[in-house]
Amino acid sequence: MPYFLSDHEKLQYKNDGYILRENQFSSTEIDIFRDFFETTVSKAHSIAGEGKEYFLDAKRFVDIDYLTLQFEPEPHQEFLKVIEPAHSLNSDLEKIIADRKLTDPIRSILSLDEVSLWTDKLNLKRPKIGSGFGWHQDSPYWIHDSEDVDTLPNVYICLDDADESNGCFSVIKGSHKKGCLPGTFDNTQLGGFFTDQDTFNIDNAVDLIASAGSLIFFNQHIVHGSKPNQSNQERRAYIVTYQPKNRAMLKSGKVKNI
């Protein structure tokens, strides 16, 4: 069964910079995905001591070859926040990366028949612990590594029901039309990767309340972020970024055609 975007969805993606497809995966499938992800988290914790530890703005990171682990800020610095690229720890994730529910819409967005993987990451927001993500774009992170940063669309898989209370994904509608925007440059180490709030209209912020199994396709230039998880519920997400075929992945330099 094909899952390509309709003409209406293509127009929405072009104008708004994102589309939400609700309930694309069943509860049974999501339970399997969660098992994959928690296995990945356990593996990451088990090898964290083998890597190079460093701190940026007092936030803990660990690099192991081309794998990067980001931890929650103090006092929860033992809890993982981001694992990238996640598939390097668990080959089961490649089944999700190749699922047509993800790749057919991406092919529609890129107007291509064949695509490859750019990167994938597991974002964790544990109950009462998970911190937020400030307003940012993905493209400034990638512009020095990709030969064409305009062709790196994302898909966000909701692993848990998400709303304002547990830090759902939020976007600045239409902000992708401006391309790469300037960073904050506030003398912090990471400030340049957060978008200068004078360059977009906060009134266009949209909180994407979505159930587990839903998919959010979003443009690499759209300004996005999320609030902390203040609830007793998990808020986990898997984000996969694609590109045209035969291009090397971020960090590893290997090619993974889908």
pLDDT tens for residues 132-180?
Answer: 999 999 999 999 899 899 999 999 999 999 999 999 999 999 999 999 9
pLDDT confidence band for 213 (50 / 70 / 90)? very high
| Prior bond of 127 cis (ω within 30°) | no
Sketch the domain layout of the chain as residue ranges: 7-244
Tell the CATH topology of 7-244.
Answer: Jelly Rolls (2.60.120)
Average pLDDT in the 58-63 region?
Answer: 94
Q: How many other β-carbons are positioned within 10 Å of the β-carbon of residue 209?
A: 15
- Residue 88 tokens read as 């390097």
Contact by Cβ (8 Å): 213, 24: yes
pLDDT confidence band for 192 (50 / 70 / 90)? confident
Q: 68-117, pLDDT tens digit by residue?
A: 999 999 999 999 999 999 999 999 999 999 999 999 999 999 999 999 99
- Residue 44 tokens read as 């990451």
Tokens 């694609």, residue located: 242
Please report how many Cα atoms fall inside a 13 Å half-sphere around the Cα of residue 159, on the Cβ side: 22
248 Cβ contact list (under 8 Å, min separation 6): 254, 255
Q: How many other β-carbons are positioned within 10 Å of the β-carbon of residue 202?
A: 9
